[in-house]
């Protein structure tokens, strides 16, 4: 699947069309609209310092959770596999690494391998956690893992139109600026490990 979020103000969504916007300012609560307990309409109100949906009938407050996404840096010969995003995605024509939402009940590492396979058609071995990325006001938390790929050629899957291996020193135009920092973190970890 397609993608996730960036540090300062950007977010990626994960999904068939790439990540959907995940900023709190996009009114995450607007999607709910009705009380899960009694079915009455909800309205956003300040509860404990944050705007949260509150049922107009029974007063139930909806506490929204963050959403977990996972990204994968698949490496081979010191380069990372990136995909070029197709029309209809966020940031079409730009590049990003495989990423997607973790499903409820799914192991995070399994989600990482699943996303890698869906987007690149490669079976990968998930390695170290590179980092966990979140920012103020962002509804998506991104976990990024290093991975190595079994033999075989990658193929662009999901909403990608092209796929290629890139060195961190020569990255193409990235869809999400934060990705550069993440890949630099990966590079540093490789040096520390002497890989």
The binding site for Zn ion (CB under 5 A) comprises 35, 37-38, 40, 55, 57-58, 60
Name the residue among 16, 14, 17 with its Cα closest to residue 144: 14
Alpha helices in the chain (DSSP H): 108-120, 178-192
Q: How far is the CB of 54 from Zn ion (least distance, A)?
A: 9
Spell 129-157 as b/e; 16+ CB within 10 A means b.
ebeebebeebbbbbbbbbbebeeeebebb
Q: What is the nearest approach in angstroms of Zn ion to the Cβ of residue 33?
A: 12
> Do 23 and 10 meet the contact criterion of CB atoms below 8 Å apart?
no
CB of 50 to Zn ion, least distance (A): 19
Closer to Zn ion by Cβ: residue 35 or 68? 35
Question: Least separation, in Å, of the C-beta of 35 and Zn ion?
Answer: 3
| Cβ distance to Zn ion smaller for residue 43 or 103 | 43
Query: Which CB atom, from 39 or from 137, has the smaller least distance to Zn ion?
Result: 39
Q: How far is the C-alpha of 7 from the C-alpha of 16, rounded, in Å? A: 22
**8 A C-beta contact, residue 81 and residue 163:** yes
**CB count, 10 Å around CB of 124?**
25
Residue with smaller CB distance to Zn ion, 52 or 178:
52
Rounded to the nearest whole angstrom, what is the least distance from the CB of residue 28 to Zn ion in the complex? 19
Between residues 55 and 174, which has the closer beta carbon with respect to Zn ion?
55
């Amino acid at each position: 699947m397609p993608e996730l979020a960036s540090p300062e103000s950007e977010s990626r969504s994960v999904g068939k069309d790439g990540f959907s916007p995940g900023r709190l300012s996009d009114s995450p609560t607007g999607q709910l609209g009705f009380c899960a307990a009694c079915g009455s309409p909800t309205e956003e109100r300040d509860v404990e310092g944050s705007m949260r949906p509150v049922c107009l009938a029974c007063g139930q407050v909806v506490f929204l959770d963050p959403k977990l996404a996972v990204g994968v840096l698949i490496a081979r010969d010191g380069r990372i596999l990136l995909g070029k995003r197709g029309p209809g995605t966020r940031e079409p024509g730009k590049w990003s690494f495989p990423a997607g939402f973790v499903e409820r009940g799914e192991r995070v590492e399994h989600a990482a391998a699943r996303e890698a396979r869906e987007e690149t058609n490669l079976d990968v071995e998930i390695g170290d956690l590179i980092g966990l990325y979140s920012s103020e006001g962002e509804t998506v938390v991104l976990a990024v893992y290093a991975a190595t790929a079994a033999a075989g050629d990658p193929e662009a899957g999901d909403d990608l139109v092209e796929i290629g291996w890139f060195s961190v020193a020569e990255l193409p135009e990235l869809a999400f600026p934060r990705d550069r920092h993440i890949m630099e973190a990966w590079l540093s970890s490789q040096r520390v490990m002497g890989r």
